[in-house]
Amino acid sequence: MPTAFRDLNKNGRLDPYEDPTCPENERVEDLLSQMTLEEKAGLMMHSMIPIGERGALVEGVGRFGPFSTKDVVTRQHLNHFNIYGAHTPRELAEWHNSLQRVAESSRLGIPVTISSDPRHAFGENIGANMAAGSFSQWPEPIGLAAIGDAELVRQFGDIARQELACVGIRVALHPMADLATEPRWARINGTFGEDAQLSAKLTFAYIHGFQGEQLGSHSVACMTKHFPGGGPQKDGEDPHFAYGREQVYPGQHFDHHLIPFKAAFEAGTSQIMPYYGMPIGTELEEVGFAFNKQVITGLLRGKFGFDGIVCADWRVLTPATVGDKVVVVAKCWGVEHLSIPDRVKKAIEAGIDQFGGESCPEVIVELVRSGLLSERRIDESARRLLREKFRLGLFDNPYLDLDLAEQTVGRADFVAAGELAQRRSIVLLKNGKTAPILPLGGKPKLYVENISPEVASAYATLVAKPEEADLAIIRISAPYEPREGFLESRFHAGDLDFKGQAKEHILALLHTVPTIVDIFLDRPAVIPEIAEGAAALLGNFGANDAAVLDVIFGRHAPTGKLPFEMPSSMEAVRKQKEDVPFDSENPLYPFGWGLSYT
C-alpha cells in the first residue's frame, strides 16, 4: 500500500484506500475530489515509455530522444504507459517496481498502469505486436481461429494473463475483434479470421481468459479493438498511413462487423479502442472514429451501453518525432485541418477517455481553463480510469515478486501448451497430386530451405542440392509489397501474389524435385501455380520448424481449418467488396478447408 495515501484523510477516520470493505465508487470519488485538474488530465494520456538497460529507469536519453521517467510521472502526472522492447522477466519486474516507487513519491501516489501489444506469437512489428521472447509462444490469433476451439483460446488467455501480470503488464492492447473481409489488409494475422460468428465466439473466450468472469486483482484488462471493426479498409490499405485512411462499405455490411464486438461487451471487456479509419459513403461523419461522436457516444455508449474506458489508437493528435524529423505522422484523418487543441476537444466531446501514445495533458488543462471543455466532462473520464486501477488492485499492492516473475514467464507447461497449439493450427491444404504423400515415413533424403538443418536432421538425411534429394521441404511466407518508412516497412501490405525472381525460384524447385511447401499465412496468399506444382502444401499461422515437421512426418496429425478464403487470383481479390465475407470468386481454397490423414 503506497504510504502516500495514509495521510490523505484529514478527519482522522480510516482511510478508504486502506479499507477493503469500502465500496469502489466511494474510493474513486474520494480520490477524485482531491485531484487537481493537471492530475486528472494526466490520467487521460496513455503514453509510450522506454525501459533502460537491465531494467533501469530511463533518466536522460531514451530510444527516441531525451526522456525523464521521474519528470513524466511526477510533473506531467502521467500514469498509464505502453511498453515495447524485449527484456528478461526479472528486468521487467524490477523496472516496474522502480516505476511504482516513483509513482508512490508523487503527491497522491497514484499507481501506474502498464500495457502492451501482443507478446505471445511470432510477429514482430513495433506498430502492432512483439515476438514472444521469454514468454510462451503460440500461433498468431489467426492461427487460434484455424483451431477454432474456444476453450483453447480461453486457456491461452489465462496463461498469457499469468505471464503478463507477473511482470506488471495489466492492460492487453488486444484482442482484435476485426473481421478479415479484405484479404490485402496488413492486420489480418491479429484477427480471428473472416467469419463473424467464429470471431465472436473466440473474442468472448479470449476476454474471459485474460479478465476472468469479472475484472479484478487477478485480471489483465482487455482493450478490445478496433471499434466499429477495422477490416473493411479501402483496397486493403491500413489507416496507420494517410493513403489507407478510408474505410468503406460497398456491400452495406457495417452492422455485420459489429457482431464480434457484441460478444466482447457480453464478456465484459474493460476497454475499447476505435480505429484510425474514417467511414466513407455512410450516414456517419467522415472523420476518424476517435473523433466520431455518432460512433463513440451514439453507438458505443448509447446503443451498446458501454461504460468502460474508450482509448484512442496511438498518435491521433500529434506526430512522433526523433529530433526534428517526423517518423510517424499524426493519424487525425478527416480533422487534419484542426489544431491540436481542437482535435483534443473534438475527440473528448466524441466520447474518448484517453489518448494512446500521447503525452500532452497541458492541452486538456488549457481547454478547461479557457472554458472550451468542462471539468465535469474530464471527471467522467477520470472516474473510469481510476475505477479500473482500483478494480485491478493496483492501489492495494502495485509491487511484484521478482522470483515469481522468473518462475512464471515461460513456465514449462505454458510452453508445452503453446507448442501443441502451433501444431493444431497447421492446415493441410494439399496432399499429393494423384495419391497422398503425407505423412512421410522412414528417413528420406531431404533438401530443405528456410528450415534449421539441426532440427531437420532429426527427421531425415539432409542433402545439399535438390537434385540429390528424394523430396524437398521449403518454408515460405505470404508475399507482400515492401515499402519504405519507419512504420510502413513493418506492415505486410499490397498484392498477395509472388512475382519475378521469388516466384521463379520456387517454381523451379517444384519442377526439379517433389516439394512439400509450408507457407506462413499472415494474409491469404494468392498461390495457384505453387499449389499446382507442390507435392503437398501446408499453411501455418506461426509455427516453429519442429511443429511443421511433426505434422509432415505424422507425429501430429493435421487438424487446422482455413480461417479465411484463399483467392485464386489478384483479379478476384480486386473484385471483392471490402466489407463482405466469403465473396472471392472461385477461391483456390474456401473458408474452412483443411485435409486430414484419415
Does residue 531 fall inside a structural domain?
A: yes
Q: What is the mean pLDDT of the chain?
A: 94
Q: Is the pLDDT of residue 23 over 80?
A: no
Tell me what the mean pLDDT of segment 541-564 comes to.
98
Q: pLDDT confidence of 62, banded at 50, 70, 90?
A: low
Does residue 397 fall inside a structural domain?
A: no
Q: pLDDT confidence of 124, banded at 50, 70, 90?
A: confident
The pTM is what? 0.94
Q: Is the pLDDT of residue 143 over 90?
A: yes
Percentage of residues of the chain with pLDDT beyond 90:
90
Does residue 367 fall inside a structural domain?
A: no
495 is annotated as an active-site residue = no
pLDDT digits (tens, 9 = 90+) for 308-334: 999 999 999 999 988 888 989 999 999
Does residue 471 fall inside a structural domain?
A: yes
Q: So what's the pLDDT on residue 3?
A: 29
Q: So what's the pLDDT on residue 5?
A: 29
Q: pLDDT confidence of 129, banded at 50, 70, 90?
A: confident
Does residue 382 fall inside a structural domain?
A: no
Range of the domain at 539: 420-560
pLDDT digits (tens, 9 = 90+) for 261-314: 999 999 999 999 999 999 999 999 999 999 999 999 999 999 999 999 999 999
Q: pLDDT confidence of 49, banded at 50, 70, 90?
A: very high
Q: Is the pLDDT of residue 127 over 80?
A: no
Q: pLDDT confidence of 18, banded at 50, 70, 90?
A: very low
pLDDT digits (tens, 9 = 90+) for 347-389: 999 999 999 999 999 999 999 999 999 999 999 999 999 999 9
Q: How many helices (H) and strands (E) does the chain have?
A: 19, 20
Q: So what's the pLDDT on residue 64?
A: 65
Helical pair 361-369 and 340-350, crossing angle rounded to 10 deg: 80
Going by the DSSP 8-state scheme, the letter that residue 313 receives in this structure is: P
Does residue 520 fall inside a structural domain?
A: yes
Q: Confirm if 202 and 144 have CB atoms less than 8 A apart.
A: yes
Q: So what's the pLDDT on residue 212?
A: 98
- If one counts the domains in the chain, the total is 1
What 3-state DSSP class applies to 594?
A: coil
For position 437, which CATH number holds? 3.40.50.1700
Tell me what the mean pLDDT of segment 552-578 comes to.
98
Element (H, E) at 80: strand 80-82
Give the lowest-confidence range in 13-17, 361-365, 473-477.
13-17
The three three-digit cell numbers of residue 471, written as one number: 523430396
Catalytic residue among 158, 195, 238, 313: 313
Tell me what the mean pLDDT of segment 519-532 comes to.
98
Q: Is the pLDDT of residue 11 over 90?
A: no
Does residue 433 fall inside a structural domain?
A: yes
Rounded to an integer, what distance in angstroms lies between the CA atom of residue 42 and that of residue 59?
Answer: 20
Q: Is the pLDDT of residue 6 over 70?
A: no
Q: Is the pLDDT of residue 21 over 50?
A: no
Does residue 470 fall inside a structural domain?
A: yes
Helical pair 150-165 and 412-425, crossing angle rounded to 10 deg: 140
Q: What share of the chain is helix, strand, coil (3-state, %, to 5)?
A: 35, 15, 45
